[in-house]
Amino acid sequence: MNIVVCIKQVPDTAEVKINPETNTLIREGVPSIINPFDMHAIEAGLQIREKIGGKVTVITMGPPQAETALRDALSMGADDAVLLTDRAFAGSDTWATSYTLSKAVKKIGADIIICGKQAIDGDTAQVGPEMAEFLDIPHISYIRNIEEIRADYIRVQRLMESGYDIVESPIPVLLTVVKEINEPRLPSLKGKMAAKKAVIKKWTSSDIGADADKIGLKGSPTQVKNIFAPEAKTDRKMLEGSPEEQIDTLIQELRQLKCM
């Protein structure tokens, strides 16, 4: 079973600070981490390999420093890593990113592709399903449990708003996973040593045979017109007095707002 896990290096937003004057993120000095959902994707890939055998390849698209994320994945136990890095990839939106990743996946040859549900910087959750369309394979989103997997068949639980669906699919298939699916393992010492020495493949757009019109800024249908700070709440009110008085004020306020 050839398993490909797509990961993204993101700023660790737990450590992101907000500039109180401009209400923008201070990105300098913010450490980079593997997107938390992708940690669960890597773990899912490793567990499938342990269960039915195969090879786990992690791939990412990004600047040269994204190599760190791939080494972290290797230290967890992934077999192989590919970094898609090329200045021509810069400025990709989800369409161009999905196209680029799908070209790399085709080159590697995959039976199962696993992605995290979404990345915590963009929160779009679009790259996984878009890739599946480019690869012309089925996909299942928001997987919280893999109930059964064989060489040509998978049955999973898909998280929905008020419960879950049990969904089956033939393989090849693309899966996106939520945190509930597993607990990502910590890297072993042996894994860390191996990851340090591992040779990471670096592919450019020509290596994957990407169409120049479909990658990077040029291949991206969407454009960011502008960014701005969200409107600050101006109606903040700290309630005062004894607990009893505070509750009375609260109920009164809510009544005025016709909420009670």
Partner 1 sequence: MYVIVNIEKCTGCEECLSSCPFDAIDIKEGKAFINENCQVCMACLSACPEDAIIETEKEETAEIDAQEFKGVWIFAEQREGKVASVAYELLGAGRRLSDELATELSAVLFGASESEAQELIKWGADRVYLSVDPLFEKFNDEPYSKLLIRLIKQYQPEIVLAGATPIGRSFIPRVAAKLRTGLTADCTSLEIDKETRNLLQIRPAFGGNIMATILCPNNRPQMATVRPRVMKRGQYNENRAGEIIPIKAYGISSRTKVLETVKEISDILVNLQEADIIISGGRGLSSPHGFKLLEELAGLIGGAVGSSRAAVDEGWISYSHQVGQTGKTVCPKIYFACGISGAVQHLVGMQSSDIIIAINKNPEAPIFNVATFGIVGDLYEIIPLLIKKIKEMREIGKTANG
Residues 88-147 that bind partner 1 (CB under 8 A): 93-95, 98-99, 120-134, 137-142
Binds partner 1 (CB under 8 A): choice among 108, 167, 194, 200: 167
Question: What distance in Å separates the CA atoms of residue 178 and residue 40, rounded to the nearest whole number?
Answer: 7
Report yes or no: 80 and 57 within 8 Å, Cβ to Cβ: yes
Binds partner 1 (CB under 8 A): choice among 29, 31, 152, 222: 222
Shortest Å, Cβ 92 to partner 1: 12
Binds partner 1 (CB under 8 A): choice among 47, 169, 201, 207: 169
Choice between 21 and 235, CB closer to partner 1: 235
Binds partner 1 (CB under 8 A): choice among 21, 64, 189, 223: 223
Q: Does 209 bind partner 1 (CB under 8 A)?
A: no
Residue 221 in tokens: 């249908």
Q: Which of 222, 216, 208 is nearest to 92 (CA)?
A: 216
Question: What distance in Å separates the CA atoms of residue 130 and residue 174, rounded to the nearest whole number?
Answer: 10
Query: What sign for the dihedral angle of Cα 245, 246, 250, 253?
Result: positive
Which positions from 24 through 63 interact with partner 1, judged by CB under 8 A?
24-25, 36-37
Which positions from 70 through 89 interact with partner 1, judged by CB under 8 A?
none
Choice between 124 and 188, CB closer to partner 1: 124
Residue 65 has a CB neighbour count (10 Å cut-off) of 11
Question: What distance in Å separates the CA atoms of residue 152 and residue 169, rounded to the nearest whole number?
Answer: 9
